[in-house]
Amino acid sequence: MNTEKRIAIYGTLREQMPTPTTELNYRNPFELMVAVILSAQATDISVNKATDKLYPVACTPESILAIGVNGLKSYIRTIGLFNGKAENIIKTCRIVIEEHGGEVPRTRAELEALPGVGRKTANVILNTAFGEPTIAVDTHIFRVSNRTGLAKGKTPLEVEKRLVRMTPDEFKLDAHHWLILHGRYVCKARAPVCGKCSIIKWCEFKKKVIA
């Protein structure tokens, strides 16, 4: 796919969603970090239901540490893999307090050193909380990037690197949100809604369907 088509795709998505953002509920970088850790293999809806109850009670590293692992589990047990996530969040809270003065670190290396924070989570935090032009690749973005031809790759990291390299600078800050929302509501895994897709005329997947 050439640069002209990429500009057309991102430009069209920008017209539809001028100010895209995450669908996770949060008020500060720490709440976002916890929500993103919880969102692994879980829906944003399920995470929001849990954090809407958790955050009024505990929304800082100190207050989450105070309720402990079992206390945290009582709020997030409806989320998949909640046992491991609770353990990781408690460990991360302790590190944030002891090594970062209670503040979420702002570098990739420091973020990825936190339990439960991998490359994708770090990218989301850097982009959404701190305005860095990173592109986190989840299952939706991986699918959309490969289907459309924006950035083909066999692994999320390969797709991420190609997206960062090939996405024009003016679109990099919001590319993550545009692609994830498009994948979540239009370019679905099992039943893509091609008839309602605004970028279908540039999509390579359409050609395969027609063929």
Please say which residue of 129, 152, 178 terminates a domain.
129
Tell whether 33 and 125 lie within a shared domain: yes
62 near 102, Cβ under 8 Å?
A: yes
pLDDT of residue 207: 58
Same domain, 40 and 120: yes
For residue 200, give the CATH number of its domain: 1.10.1670.10
Q: How many domains is the chain built from?
A: 2
What pLDDT was estimated at residue 208?
58
Find the domain containing 168 and state its range.
Answer: 3-20+134-210
124 and 140 belong to one structural domain? no
In this structure, are 104 and 161 located in the same domain? no
Q: Could you say which residues of the chain have pLDDT below 70?
A: 206-211
Q: Are the beta carbons of 162 and 152 closer than 8 angstroms?
A: yes
- What CA–CA distance (Å, rounded) separates 151 from 18? 22
**What's residue 211's pLDDT?**
44
Q: Which residues are catalytic?
A: 120, 138
Give yes or no for a contact between 96 and 79, defined as CB atoms under 8 angstroms apart: no
- Which of 125, 113, 102 shows the shortest CA–CA distance to 37? 125
Query: Are residues 36 and 116 located together in one domain of the fold?
Result: yes
Cα 106 from Cα 179, distance rounded (Å): 24
Is-contact 31 59, C-beta < 8 A? yes
Phi, psi of 153 (to 5 degrees): -175, 160
Name residues whose C-beta falls within 8 Å of residue 19's C-beta, 6 or more positions apart in sequence: none
Please give the pLDDT value at position 209. Answer: 52
Question: Which of 129, 145, 165 is the last residue in one of the domains?
Answer: 129
What pLDDT is recorded for position 193?
94
Give the tens place of pLDDT for each residue, 100-136: 999 999 999 999 999 999 999 999 999 999 999 999 9
Are both 83 and 108 inside the same structural domain? yes
